[in-house]
């Protein structure tokens, strides 16, 4: 059951395309000021998208990454992959200032071990918002290498941070196979020393990556986080 203190009504302040395949929506409103961030770097929450005068709490929704949370201003930034179908993408393409949606209590999965001296991020375009936040808000002493699947080269992003490498793979959502994360994983050479691998994207590809890192490379369980954001054959959010 949803607790009243966990639910927040948010209002669209602005919407814009930041690349051909990504829409950035900034949310605010008085009720959102009481949002309690879990402060995880891949922080995500359930967003509900009402139609007409329907209840925000009862409206259908999906999980999305919180790209940035400005506690002082009470503003939340959320990036949506723009594609045909999917409740969230459809909402984002049509969103206008003043539109409302619901936001539930957030969670996170990014938990690198304290002794990690490097981080590798592997994601398709749906994981790009989390990749961006991890790179920008991580401790600056930890180097990061990111491999991200995008649709076209115009979907690359620049991050406001230092000490990272970003490698872009134009293989997302292409005809025949929507993701090639597992192939990218098998081509990686992990840095020396103790580290941490974070993976997010299409569920079957993420599972294949997880098997490769654990079973083939012998990466310990505590040094690997893998999250299936969507399932091929089902409408992406």
State residue 237's pLDDT score.
60
State residue 236's pLDDT score.
61
Question: 């999906």: which residue's tokens?
Answer: 62
* Residue 87 or 86, more confident: 87
Give backbone dihedrals phi and psi of 64, rounded to 5 degrees, phi first: -140, 150
For 37-80, what is each residue's pLDDT tens digit?
999 999 999 999 988 777 888 899 999 999 999 999 999 999 99
For 3-49, what is each residue's pLDDT tens digit?
556 899 999 999 999 999 999 999 999 999 999 999 999 999 999 99
Pairing of strands 144-149, 119-123: parallel
Q: Where are the beta strands (DSSP E) in 142-210?
A: 144-149, 164-169, 196-202
CA dist., res. 36 & res. 218, Å (int): 37
Question: Model pTM?
Answer: 0.94
Q: Please, what are the domains in the chain?
A: 4-103 (2.40.30.10), 119-230 (3.40.50.80)
Residue 233 pLDDT more than 80? no
For 170-205, what is each residue's pLDDT tens digit?
999 887 788 999 999 999 999 999 999 999 999 999
Asked if 173 and 193 count as a contact pair (C-beta separation under 8 A), the reply is: no
């Amino acid at each position: 059951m949803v607790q009243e203190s966990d639910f927040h009504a948010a209002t669209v302040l602005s919407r814009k395309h930041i690349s051909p395949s990504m829409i950035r929506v900034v949310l605010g409103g008085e009720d959102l000021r009481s949002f309690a961030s879990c402060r995880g770097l891949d922080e995500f929450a359930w967003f509900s998208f009402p139609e007409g005068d329907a209840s925000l709490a009862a409206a259908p929704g999906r999980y999305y990454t919180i790209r940035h949370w400005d506690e002082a201003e009470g503003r939340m930034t959320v990036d949506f992959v723009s594609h045909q179908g999917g409740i969230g993408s459809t909402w984002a393409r049509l969103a206008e200032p003043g539109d409302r949606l619901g936001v539930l209590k957030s969670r996170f999965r990014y938990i690198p071990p304290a002794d990690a001296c490097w981080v590798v991020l592997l994601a398709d375009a749906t994981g790009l918002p989390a990749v961006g936040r991890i790179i920008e808000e991580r401790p600056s002493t930890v180097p990061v290498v990111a491999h991200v699947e995008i649709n076209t080269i115009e979907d690359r992003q620049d991050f406001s941070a230092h000490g990272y490498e970003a490698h872009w793979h134009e293989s997302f959502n292409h005809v025949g196979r929507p993701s090639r994360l597992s192939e990218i994983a098998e081509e990686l050479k992990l840095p020396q020393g103790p580290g941490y691998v974070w993976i997010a994207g299409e569920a079957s590809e993420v599972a294949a990556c997880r098997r490769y890192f654990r079973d083939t490379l012998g990466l310990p369980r505590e040094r690997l986080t893998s999250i299936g954001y969507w399932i091929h054959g089902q409408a992406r959010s």
